[in-house]
Structure 1
Amino acid sequence: MTDLAKVPVTIVTGFLGAGKTTLIRHLIQNAGGRRLAVVVNEFGTLGVDGEILKSCAIPDCPAENIVELANGCICCTVADDFIPTVERLLALEPRPDHILIETSGLALPKPLLKAFDWPAIRSRITVDGVLALADAEAVAEGRFAPDLVALEAQRAADPGIDHETPLAEVFEDQLACADMVLLTKIDLAGPEGVAAARAVIAAEAPRPVPVVEIREGAIDPRVILGLGAAAEDDLAARPSHHDGEDDHEHEDFDSIVVTFGEIADPAELVARIERLAREHKVLRVKGYAAVSGKPMRLLVQAVGARVRHQYDRPWRAGEPRGTALVAIAEHDDVRPDAFRAVLAG
């Protein structure tokens, strides 16, 4: 790559818990000699994904090449956060060969694409491709969009009726911007679920896009890096529900951080998170917990009532032991006191 060449950028989008961080971790560990840099955009004030990725740093993607933006939606803070961050990455020596951007699960990718037209960076970087990750099991169950047949029948009968939820709009906007869809959690969906998810994606995508099934984020980097899409020059082919708006809001969603002390039993915490999803429609919980008598910190990741947890690293000397969890839900469903009562017990 010459000094005059544009640095390619891959945008990794997808709904909450679709597996974006797992994919990027795989790419970091299988960079194929590329010098990578990563920008992680969190929703909420407690960063989790950035630290997970930094723990996977290698010489071709050292920790200083992994930047976390936790001040809000990346496409709403372009001037304050995104542009300066990209400029800092481009100034690194050696300069990255490829930049990966993991958006928040609630981000709309098209406003971010528009940011690549900023004069400060347009001549220096290009959007190599937009990858949309979709949880096959969740899509097959229709969690992110209403029943498509019923919806279209209702629209045909009364064009003024709109039954789409905010979650459906986010999902559709992510598909609309994608150059490739990566279908995850295929083992949980099973063959019938995968087929159903593929049908939903085909119906929602405004143009045909490749759909690739992956497990645990594993995919040959040659399949998804080097697409050469120049997506910033192709905005018209990537329609959005928010086209024509100067800005977009995330008032549809909100998050709170719940902190408390050590827990006695991880299984009890899992049960609390499952209850939170059932009773309060919480979409996502992630964070850390301190388990009494255990020297390792417990990493917690939940999508709805599906909870994963593992010990990720020892507690550091002098680091306060405690539990901190981010809970994300649609705005009208956020009940801070109720959330705290369920999680903290």
Structure 2
Amino acid sequence: MPAKIPATIVTGFLGSGKTTLIRHLLNNAEGRKIALIINEFGDLGVDGDILKGCGDATCTDDDVMELSNGCICCTVAEDFVPTLEKLLSRKDLPDHIVIETSGLALPQPLVQAFNWPEISTRVTVDGVVTLVDGKAVAEGRFAHDINAVDAQRAADDNLDHETPLSELFEDQIACADLIVVNKSDLLEPIEAKSLSDRLRTESRPGVQVVSTSMGVLPADVLLGRSAAAETDLDARDAPHHHHGEDGEHDHDHDEFESFVVTRPEIADPKAFADLVAQTIRSHDILRLKGFAAVTGKPMRLTIQAVGPRVDSYYDRPLGGSERETRLVVIGEAGLDRAAITAALSA
């Protein structure tokens, strides 16, 4: 029987750095052919496009598959398993599969899905990697911007669990084979050590805790862990994962909203980043992400903002039909869409 294809599950709250870590992995895959399954959130496939733009021959556009039908742990049968089956039916199989979950996904049900007969003989969970926003957790929070996480929760109509963030964080730690304390450059050395020590005591025996910034880790640290996590579910107990009697929960989806702003290409990336930051502050925008075409530049500019922090970088060449700027804006209900669109179009 052929060897099972290893799959790595990457979990962590919005803003912890999952996409950045995976992008670095793709650019330093050391010859591995990696396929991605992404649990997308929002009106525009930004995370998928960021990863498709890696430009690495080991991960082509065809190797990136997006799930946009809601929280991955709540759509296992309808969405995830069929997507994985489709990937496994290809003649050109990947060497490794990486799955980026939504920050709200419970990792345990996803790991359990690998025991489904349709896929259990062909793929195995090589490891569960949990990313932690080191600065936020050290300060007693679970994410850089709790409101943005709540907005993500409210915008997902398919989410059928309302696990408190504290319990969801415990679930992510309990299921981990590797805990990555990201943004460690924002911590004092004694803070970083204290947090790492704490996470070791809160996780299962033998779980590794590593610190990094910008998701920079060697591929050999992330991949090749051979955990076979789907055979070890009892040790990854998720005591807080529960559903109501009818399997549904009430959600107030009207508290948050998201929309897309499209404008022509920009002339000055630095000035535009300042404009984005000012617009975020003026209109209490929780999350903004997207792409821009820059006048005279052949490369696409990726823009990501969580709270007041705006990051941007060039990721891949632009196609002829892509010379425009498209941004997803996420915030509490009642956003002044006209004013925000006007500000971002200035």
- Please list the CA deviations of residues 137-185 of structure 1 after superposition, one character each: whole Å capped at 9, or x if unmatched: 222222328xxxxxxxxxxxxxxxxxx9944343333222211101111
Q: What SS class does the counterpart of residue 120 from structure 1 fall into?
A: helix
Amino acid at match of 2:290: G
1:315/1:139 CA distance change after superposition, 3 Å: same
State the distance in 2 between where 1:276 and 1:176 align: 39
Aligned to 1:301: 304
Do the aligned partners of 1:137 and 1:197 also contact (CA within 8 Å) in 2? Answer: no
State the distance in 1 between where 2:102 and 2:136 align: 18
Instruction: Say which is worse superposed, 218-227 or 83-92, in terms of deviation.
Output: 218-227
Amino acid at match of 2:231: D
State the distance in 2 between where 1:287 and 1:16 align: 15
- Give the deviation of 1:113 after TM superposition: 2.0
Aligned to 2:148: none
State the distance in 1 between where 2:165 and 2:276 align: 20
- Please list the CA deviations of residues 281-320 of structure 1 after superposition, one character each: whole Å capped at 9, or x if unmatched: 6543211234566554331112222211123345422x25
Aligned to 2:84: 86
Matched, 1:270 2:273: yes
Aligned to 2:169: 171
| 1:14-93 → structure 2 map (5 Å cutoff) | 14-93=12-91
Q: What SS class does the counterpart of residue 130 from structure 2 fall into?
A: strand
1:269/1:83 CA distance change after superposition, 3 Å: same
Amino acid at match of 2:319: R
Do the aligned partners of 1:8 and 1:128 also contact (CA within 8 Å) in 2? Answer: yes
Query: Structure 2: which 5+ runs fail to align?
Result: 144-161
Do the aligned partners of 2:129 and 2:180 also contact (CA within 8 Å) in 1? Answer: yes
Do the aligned partners of 2:11 and 2:130 also contact (CA within 8 Å) in 1? Answer: yes
| 1:233-272 → structure 2 map (5 Å cutoff) | 233-236=231-234, 237-243=236-242, 246=247, 256-262=258-264, 263=266, 265-267=268-270, 269-271=272-274
- Give the deviation of 1:211 after TM superposition: 0.8
- Please list the CA deviations of residues 46-70 of structure 1 after superposition, one character each: whole Å capped at 9, or x if unmatched: 1122222222254433332221222
Do the aligned partners of 2:185 and 2:212 also contact (CA within 8 Å) in 1? Answer: no
1:257/1:268 CA distance change after superposition, 3 Å: farther
- Give the deviation of 1:258 after TM superposition: 2.8
- Using structure 1 for the length normalisation, give the TM-score: 0.79
1:178/1:79 CA distance change after superposition, 3 Å: same
- Using structure 2 for the length normalisation, give the TM-score: 0.78
State the distance in 1 between where 2:169 and 2:9 align: 15
State the distance in 1 between where 2:216 and 2:12 align: 16
For the aligned residue pairs, the C-alpha RMSD in angstroms reads 3.3
Instruction: Say which is worse superposed, 13-22 or 105-114, in terms of deviation.
Output: 105-114
1:119/1:63 CA distance change after superposition, 3 Å: same
Amino acid at match of 1:323: T
Aligned to 1:337: 336
- Please list the CA deviations of residues 204-239 of structure 1 after superposition, one character each: whole Å capped at 9, or x if unmatched: x35343211123333232222222222223333332
Query: Structure 1: which 5+ runs fail to align?
Result: 146-163
